[in-house]
Amino acid sequence: MKINWFSPLPPARTDIGHYTARIVSALSRRAEITLWACQDDWDSSLEQYATIRRWSGDAWTDLNRADLTFYHIGNNRLFHQAIWETSRRHPGVVVLHDLRLQHLFLGIYLDIQGQRDAYERVMTDYYGHAGRRAARQFFAGELNAEALAERWPLTEHALEGACAVLVHTHDALETLAASNRWPVGCLPLPYPSSLTPPLPRPCDPSAPRRLIVFGYLGANRQLDKLLQALAGLPERLRLQLDIYGQLDQPDRVRAQIRALGLGGIVNLHGFVSESELDRALDHADLAVNLRYPSMGEASGSQLRIWDHALPSLVTRTGWYATLPETTVAFVRPEHEVADIQQHLRQLLIDPEHFASLGCNGRRRLQAQHAPDQYAEALCRFIPVAQNHRRIGLLDPLIARLRHESVAFPQPFRPNDWRRLAGELNTLVGMPAPPP
Amino acid sequence: MRILIATTQVPFVRGGAEIHAEGLRNALCQAGHIAEIVAIPFKWYPPERIPEHILACRLLDLSESCGVRVDRVIGLRFPAYCIPHPNKVLWILHQYRAAYDLWDTPLGDLIHFPDGRQIRDVIHQADRRYIAEAQAIYANSGNVSKRLKNYCDIDSTPLYHPPQDAERFYSGEACDSLFFPSRINRTKRQDLVIEALAHTQEAVQIQFAGMADDASYQRELRETAQRLGVGARIEWLGEISEEEKRDRYAHALGVLYPPLDEDYGYVTLEAMLSARPVITCADSGGPLEFIRDGENGRVTAPTPQALAQAMDELWQDRARARRWGEAGREDYAERRISWQTVISTLTQ
């Protein structure tokens, strides 16, 4: 079995790259993998598990030599534009790392190309007049990207070339399965748990409790709410917040820290090495891993937090809302400041309770997110996707028929369509419609 | 019976498939049936056209014409053999080979397209589904039958037919030349023969007859011959008449026919009818159903060296060449390959 795998690769600053690094060893025991890189450099340690090739944009012959191609799609245009464009031309399994992909398409159509017309056309194609109106409201500054993503996710645009879809949450599974267009598989996001449990955290009652936020910190990470909560908390001097990763609007965050007088307890570290981040996670007392709105997918960051047996605050939304109360502490959407403050007070009073959340999270990680289980399930999905690959040809065939039908003086009668539909379905291997 | 022969026609291209369909029609008519050819124009590029052509075939209705029932459809070529009919019999010349045995070979084009795999999946699905609709499935040769089984798990029976004007082939005194009559096409491997010529020890000469499908390949062949210093030992006859072809067969020392995995190959049969030994290759497909190494010709490895050795042997021992040729003619006669057999099989 040969598999093509399009994904960002470490050291690209995206957890999807880390996800691939986590799974490739287990996958390589079951299939021959070619990692197609849409970037110039990659972690050479991956080469022990897979052939890595720079995607040139036209190596179709090589893609066709594999049994199936997997495309990993997330919201960052820099990492996913080339992958998405390839997926539209060479059908394969699209693995959605976000369900709402508005940010990806805003990036593709507007950031670089400035194609407002094209973006508006896409929004109209998928959502009709309402979509066009939303696009224009966005151009006019009346809607922000998060609001667009919430209501107009453009998920199907990301799946135009998909013969099957893999997701990591049951919400995403239900949403996509309802459209009945593709086989959809749902697998728990993989994360290899370290063999040795993390050391007990230092428990000097006089030392401040350390909070940590990390990752790509866009608007939906609710950093502003966290800072507001800290600023309004009388006990704030007993806390310290470390922020790792890339800030979407660094100047604005710095200004907010200054304005709220939090300079003494908030540290901005920027991007650091993986080992440094691991050390920070080992020494933290609580991770703040909020998403609102959620882009609808599971969080590799959350799994990493659990691997460190670290308790965490998450927003009660999307995949996070499905997590057991015994593994995370929830923050309600639109009530972030109050809920964060309540949890932080509780942390200072009862740190053992929070520590138990972290331990439970680690147990859940070990039970449900092992890469070997993931690789096994993914390989079982391959024949399902292969059987469905033909179905992608339905759309162009139907479009051609629709185009030709303008020559007919009258619309097709129902029986004509039934015969056509029957032939089309048979051709692509679907059951014929009922008589 | 009123019988329609469903085949595929690439406009302005005429080759063995067209002769095959016409031979079948003529034989059906001679046997007292009313027969006509329905030829579907076929364009295989870009590959997105292929599913459209399959669908177009599926939407045709050949069950009757002018209110009179069509008793049988005989499907020959992809995608024409997908046309539905309640009494369909297939006699498959070959499947769409770029989706099967030629997929990842220098001769396959489908693999180079972004959606090549997807189109291949549809072709496989169509073949498995629509070939299986037939009341009976025959293949043009054992090689085609084997591919149907290997790739689609479809059982079929090889059904041989004679080449055009089989009764008009004859044999004469052999001259100092080997004859290679075929379209000038990469699958026929004229290039291999020219390279072999450069390895011969004897002053072997070759006559190539046939039109070039691809002018660039013809140019390459001539350049290769010049580069290897064998240009003067090659005669390019171009397209020749049927009469001249029979005459060239009759007076050739032997016939060269080393195509890559040929479906059937009239050249083999025509050579046997002309009592000429055939040199072919172990990967040549159809000819291997007729040529037995060292009995009625040579079957060599597909290398210039091996082919050169076989050419030299034929050149050196004319008496043996004559014996092998005669043996080939006798083999052909013993097989009782005839249109009567074909017609009685396809109309039973």
pLDDT tens for A65-96 read: 999 999 999 999 999 999 999 999 999 999 99
Q: Which of A291, A292, A282 is nearest to A362 (CA)?
A: A282
My answer on whether A21 and A159 are in the same domain is: yes
Given an 8 Å threshold on Cβ–Cβ distance, is A65 in contact with B104?
yes
My answer on whether A348 and A246 are in the same domain is: yes
Cis omega (within 30 of 0) for bond into A383: no
pLDDT tens for A222-244 read: 999 999 999 999 999 999 999 99
The size of chain B, in residues, is: 348
CATH number at residue A350: 3.40.50.2000
Q: Is A378 contained in some domain? A: no
pLDDT at A408 over 90: no
Tell me how far apart the alpha carbons of residues A433 and A421 are, in angstroms, rounded to a whole number. 7
Q: Is A251 contained in some domain? A: yes
Cis omega (within 30 of 0) for bond into A11: yes
Give the mean pLDDT of chain B. Answer: 95
My answer on whether A214 and A156 are in the same domain is: no
pLDDT tens for B143-191 read: 999 999 999 999 999 999 999 999 999 999 999 999 999 999 999 999 9
Domains of chain B (ranges plus CATH)?
Answer: 2-159 (3.40.50.2000), 166-335 (3.40.50.2000)
CB contact A63 to B (< 8 Å): yes
My answer on whether A137 and A12 are in the same domain is: yes
My answer on whether A228 and A354 are in the same domain is: yes
- Shortest CA distance from A386: residue in chain B: B121
My answer on whether A79 and A26 are in the same domain is: yes
Given an 8 Å threshold on Cβ–Cβ distance, is B114 in contact with A60?
yes
Element (H, E) at A435: none
Looking at CA atoms only, how far is residue A70 from chain B in angstroms? 14
pLDDT band at A399 (very low <50, low <70, confident <90, very high): confident
CA dist B70 → A322, A410, B8, B26 (Å): 64, 30, 19, 18
Please identify, among A330, A345, A369, the residue that sits at the C-terminal boundary of a domain.
A369
At A212, list the tokens. Answer: 């940590």
- Shortest CA distance from B120: residue in chain A: A390
Q: Is A21 contained in some domain? A: yes
- Shortest CA distance from B52: residue in chain A: A397
My answer on whether A125 and A249 are in the same domain is: no
Tell me how far apart the alpha carbons of residues B31 and B336 are, in angstroms, rounded to a whole number. 17
Please identify, among A369, A384, A409, the residue that sits at the C-terminal boundary of a domain.
A369
My answer on whether A175 and A297 are in the same domain is: no
DSSP track, B83-118: S--TTEEEEEEE--GGGTTTTTSTT--GGGSTTHHH
Strands of B234-238's sheet in order across:
B234-238, B206-209, B178-181, B254-256, B278-281, B297-300
Task: Name every chain A residue with its beta carbon within 8 A of the beta carbon of B55.
Answer: 397, 423-424, 427
Which residues on adjacent β-strands are paired with residue A286? A211
Please identify, among A136, A171, A186, the residue that sits at the C-terminal boundary of a domain.
A186
My answer on whether A98 and A170 are in the same domain is: yes
Q: Which of B48, B111, B112 sits opposite A396 (nearest CB)?
A: B48
Q: Is A200 contained in some domain? A: no
Q: Which of B51, B104, B114 sits opposite A397 (nearest CB)?
A: B51
CB contact A430 to B (< 8 Å): no
pLDDT at B287 over 90: yes
How many domains, in total, are found in chain A? 2
Task: Name every chain B residue with its beta carbon within 8 A of the beta carbon of A420.
Answer: 59
Given an 8 Å threshold on Cβ–Cβ distance, is A64 in contact with B125?
no
List all residues of chain A from 381 to 420 with a beta carbon under 8 Å from chain B. 386, 389-390, 392-393, 396-397, 400, 419-420
My answer on whether A151 and A274 are in the same domain is: no
Q: Which of A332, A22, A262 is nearest to A243 (CA)?
A: A262
Task: Name every chain A residue with its beta carbon within 8 A of the beta carbon of B50.
Answer: none
Task: Name every chain A residue with its beta carbon within 8 A of the beta carbon of B112.
Answer: 60-61, 64
Q: Is A321 contained in some domain? A: yes
- Full domain range(s) for residue A287: 209-369
pLDDT tens for B62-120 read: 999 999 999 999 999 999 999 999 999 999 999 999 999 999 998 899 999 999 999 99
Q: Is A198 contained in some domain? A: no
Task: Name every chain B residue with its beta carbon within 8 A of the beta carbon of A91.
Answer: 115, 117-118
pLDDT tens for B30-46 read: 999 999 999 999 999 99
Q: Is A65 contained in some domain? A: yes
Amino acid B235 reads E
Looking at CA atoms only, how far is residue A51 from chain B in angstroms? 20
B222: which residues sit within 8 A by CB, 6+ positions away?
A: B231, B236
Task: Name every chain A residue with its beta carbon within 8 A of the beta carbon of B54.
Answer: 427
My answer on whether A175 and A214 are in the same domain is: no
Tell me how far apart the alpha carbons of residues B310 and B317 are, in angstroms, rounded to a whole number. 11
pLDDT tens for A138-193 read: 999 999 998 999 999 999 999 999 999 999 998 899 999 998 889 999 999 999 99
My answer on whether A157 and A229 are in the same domain is: no
Please give the model's pTM, rounded to 2 decimal places. Answer: 0.82
Given an 8 Å threshold on Cβ–Cβ distance, is A392 in contact with B112?
no
